[in-house]
Amino acid sequence: MTKYVYSFGEGKAEGSSGMRPLLGGKGADLAEMTNIGINVPSGFTISTEVCTYYWEKGRYPKSLEEEREKAVSKLERAMGKGFSDRENPLLVSVRSGAAISMPGMMDTVLNLGLNDKTLLGLIKQTGNERMAYDAYRRFIQMFSDVVLEIDSEKFEEILSEKKKRLGLKYDNELSVDDLKDIVRKFKEIVRKEKEESFPDDPKKQLEMSIDAVFKSWGNKRAIEYRRLNKIPDDLGTAVNVQAMVFGNMGKNSGTGVAFTRNPSTGENKLYGEYLIDAQGEDVVAGIRTPSPIAKLAEEMPKSYAQFSEITQILEKHYLDVQDIEFTIENSILYILQTRRGKRTAQAAVKIAVDMVKEKLITKEEALKRIEPNQIDRLLHPQIDPKAKVKAIAQGLAASPGVGCGEVVFCADDAVTASKEGRKSLLIRRETSPDDIHGMAVAEGILTSRGGMTSHAAVVARGMGKPCVAGCEAIEVSEKKKEFIASGKKIQEGDVVTIDGGSGNVYLGKVAVVEPKITDEFALILKWADTKRRLGVRANADDPESAKKAREFGAEGIGLCRTEHMFFGKDRLPIMKEMIMADDLPERKKALNKLLPMQREDFIGMLRAMDGLPVTIRFLDPPLHEFLPSHEELNIELATLKLQDKNPKRQKELDELINKVASLREVNPMLGHRGCRLGIIYPEISEMQAQAVFEASCILKKEGLNPIPEVMIPLVSDVKEFINQKKIVDEKASEVFEKECVKVAYKVGTMIEVPRAALTAGKIAEYAEFFSFGTNDLTQTTFGFSRDDAEGKFLHKYVEDKILKENPFEVLDQEGVGELIKMAVKQGRITKPDLKVGICGEHGGEPSSVIFCDGADLNYVSCSPYRVPVARLAAAHARIKG
């Protein structure tokens, strides 16, 4: 018979027999700590299998109730207390715990087991009437919110009103009589909302709470978190039932959260916060601003020393930074939870390097600890130190980075702004797990309450979002949709900038500067380069981008889009002239004007990448893209005719409209573009080839080493490639003879339609390299128009799991990937040394890079700022492979 319930001592987290998938991260770590002698309150875990069983069948396994009752009895014996015992009651917490940490996304109930009778037992047990009633009011509110689904704000209003009337600031200032009155009013809310009394049977409370936690696996915020973090929906959560210990027993009690190293900077120093006379949710929710953990050494030196020692034990045991929750009850320290600490990209890099230097982990393990997408955040802009700006407020520097946008005051408004293409900054008194969808799309988060371990801070760090928390200098009114700072009223829609690295808040948009690679970051990338096989190039269309790519470690340019060079103000009129030409001489006349400009473009690119290959794609888009739209021209012409003005311009417009009409296509993506342009207008290819080779010869004479690679786009038949390669080779010979110098070059093609992939063996007889243009290859394989698909239905496909991912963001390995593997295999049968790369946007997406390594490509090419991501992903491919 399947076992579903495990006491803490029965499980294990680490090693080959680790039980995280079964017990969830929290349950497995509680078991692990119990086994190594850490003082953990006793309890038991109901496995993730129960969650998946429930969501599949809509009910629980028949044996669960009996197992749960046995576990409760065992817990009663361990604690020397009784569930429902009026004299010596056992109280428990009920918490979620998935195999992959999802902080705050699912539900928790504390102080479970209290009713009017066990309350008296708790008072007798602790000798602390105030603490007992405080625990009771917390339990009623939390249970009502999580289990009975009564809006928590109804309870908060009563609490706030009571404090306001008494002139109190904090909950712990309320007297016993105040709390008794609050408990009575809380019960009235339940009676009114549910038309029945608050449940007073502890066993029923436990059953209902376990059910609520399992159901919370399917709540909106948990689903959204899994989507954002690519966590499978079928993992399920475990439920942990643990004996309560109380941090709200008075001045010798408290609760807190701490990291073994700074999760924001990576500094090797205990980092965290605590509150005296409080329970755990007070710290996370930011209801009171907590004290830094270092201050605990002054208030409770013995407990601090003990806690500091335990943090070192746990970090050395897990060989990773730990995020630890603790409670001190009457000077006795208890560890409630440990888990791998979420950290910023900056911290992740520093911690990984430091742990290698401390001989705790290997270089290979350090590389595995850093997710490739995570380091993309290290390349975000920072506030320009030369900017003459004055902060209107300062809070806690909770998560680094600069966030700028229009202020919004609720998560839904942030989502709306994102859909409308507006950048937003989410302003809250404090965030809650229900804000996760808004936090995901906002440029940053600013809260007036909470500390460095508050919900806003922890989630922002995990997402890589800038966050300023606990900014008490601002007064937030979510109802009025405004906040006040330095006497200024900032309203919804106003632009604000936050600096999560300093905690500063600025009015308006502030100038930023490009980031620099730190020594630790450079070292991580150096280690990655020793592990990877796959080359990494960059997509760049101008010398500045090429220089940036080289700075980030690019080993060449994998895609230089020449069409981008024709959109400049000085070139577009000439390009228009070339398109409007009625005959070959006129067209060549315009092309001769473009030739020196194109040559200078290539000189700049090849000079910036001296000694490294530069893959230059010939003109790809249809010609109408260089002309004004048909609609715009007609409107201008109609306006002039109505006004009876400018006959000369009217004639020009008539000609232009006729030309645009002749170039219009039903489906331009599959129309007259790519190599088809060069075949119909060979003079365009001739001009571009001449510019490439003249630029190369000029640099060769200067003593540089240009390595041009000419790429023919959109080939679907080998004869198309032969046609264009002949033009390139003839022009190369002509230029080399004229300049009395030769430059080594290659001519290859972009594989971006299925027929090219299917006939790759034939194309490889003539092509010296392939480069997969996966954006178009994805469009032509799926039969999708990207703009239409992403705008109209693709999000629904992903949401309904028709497709696992957006195939334009993550390579479709089953379809497009199979075409790539087929083309590589057939191409190399023909030409074993055929060089093969990828130059679509997928070249910087980690899982796609790993696929490319497995498909035996030579290199990937991506935007300059994704080059470090691709370098690390390529190393992961070898380490994990």
Residue 6 identity (one-letter amino acid):
Y
Residue burial 104-139, b: 16+ Cβ < 10 Å; e: rest: bbbbbbbbbbbbeebbebbbebbebbbbbbbbbbbb
Across the range 158-178, mean pLDDT stands at: 90
Q: Say whether pLDDT at 102 is over 70.
A: yes
Q: Say whether pLDDT at 16 is over 60.
A: no
**In terms of Cα–Cα distance, which of 39, 38, 37, 11 is closest to 99?**
11
Q: Grade residue 617 by pLDDT with cuts at 50, 70 and 90.
A: very high
Q: Let me know if 852 is a catalytic residue.
A: no
Q: Grade residue 103 by pLDDT with cuts at 50, 70 and 90.
A: confident
Answer yes or no: pTM beyond 0.85.
no
The predicted-structure confidence for 467-496, as pLDDT tens digits, reads as follows 998 898 899 999 899 999 988 999 999 999
Distance between CA 506 and CA 33 in Å, rounded? Answer: 45
Q: Residue 287: what pLDDT?
A: 64
Across the range 95-113, mean pLDDT stands at: 88
Q: Grade residue 857 by pLDDT with cuts at 50, 70 and 90.
A: very high
Q: Residue 285: what pLDDT?
A: 62
Across the range 496-513, mean pLDDT stands at: 91
Segment among 141-155, 537-551, 561-575 with least mean pLDDT: 561-575
* Contact of 537 with 860, CB cutoff 8 Å: yes
% residues pLDDT > 90 (the chain) = 69
Distance between CA 323 and CA 458 in Å, rounded? Answer: 10
Q: Residue 374: what pLDDT?
A: 81
Q: One of 675, 839, 852, 862 is an active-site residue; which one? A: 839
Q: Residue 547: what pLDDT?
A: 93
The predicted-structure confidence for 407-445, as pLDDT tens digits, reads as follows 999 999 999 999 999 999 999 998 887 788 899 899 999
Q: Residue 525: what pLDDT?
A: 96
Higher-pLDDT residue of 828, 221: 828
Q: Say whether pLDDT at 92 is over 80.
A: yes
Q: Say whether pLDDT at 284 is over 70.
A: no
Q: Grade residue 799 by pLDDT with cuts at 50, 70 and 90.
A: confident
Higher-pLDDT residue of 243, 457: 243
CB atoms < 10 A from the CB of 142, how many? 23
The predicted-structure confidence for 676-731, as pLDDT tens digits, reads as follows 999 999 999 999 999 999 999 999 999 999 999 999 999 999 999 999 999 999 99
Structure tokens at 377: 């955040």
* Contact of 50 with 60, CB cutoff 8 Å: yes
Q: Residue 305: what pLDDT?
A: 97
The predicted-structure confidence for 248-276, as pLDDT tens digits, reads as follows 888 899 999 999 999 988 999 999 999 99
Distance between CA 121 and CA 124 in Å, rounded? Answer: 5
Higher-pLDDT residue of 536, 795: 536
Mean pLDDT, the chain, rounded, equals 91
HSE (side-chain half, CA atoms, 13 Å) at 421: 1
Q: Let me know if 839 is a catalytic residue.
A: yes
Distance between CA 296 and CA 305 in Å, rounded? Answer: 9
% residues pLDDT > 70 (the chain) = 98
- Per DSSP, the chain holds a count of helices (H) and strands (E) of 35, 31
Structure tokens at 666: 């039903």
Q: Residue 863: what pLDDT?
A: 86
Across the range 649-663, mean pLDDT stands at: 78
Long-range contact pairs involving 511-516 (C-beta distance under 8 Å, separation at least 24): 511/383, 511/384, 511/386, 511/387, 512/381, 512/382, 512/383, 512/384, 512/402, 513/381, 513/382, 513/383, 513/384, 513/385, 514/381, 515/378, 515/379, 515/380, 515/381, 515/382
Segment among 2-11, 132-141, 234-243, 788-797 with least mean pLDDT: 788-797
**In terms of Cα–Cα distance, which of 66, 68, 62 is closest to 92?**
68
Strand partners, 708: 614
Across the range 285-309, mean pLDDT stands at: 90
Q: Say whether pLDDT at 8 is over 90.
A: yes
Across the range 599-618, mean pLDDT stands at: 97
Segment among 10-19, 132-141, 478-487, 790-799 with least mean pLDDT: 10-19
Across the range 112-120, mean pLDDT stands at: 95
Across the range 571-588, mean pLDDT stands at: 88
Structure tokens at 328: 């001190």
* Contact of 663 with 701, CB cutoff 8 Å: no
* Contact of 246 with 135, CB cutoff 8 Å: yes
Q: Residue 464: what pLDDT?
A: 74
Q: One of 437, 455, 624, 842 is an active-site residue; which one? A: 455
Distance between CA 818 and CA 278 in Å, rounded? Answer: 58
* Contact of 443 with 405, CB cutoff 8 Å: yes
Segment among 45-49, 459-463, 722-726 with least mean pLDDT: 459-463
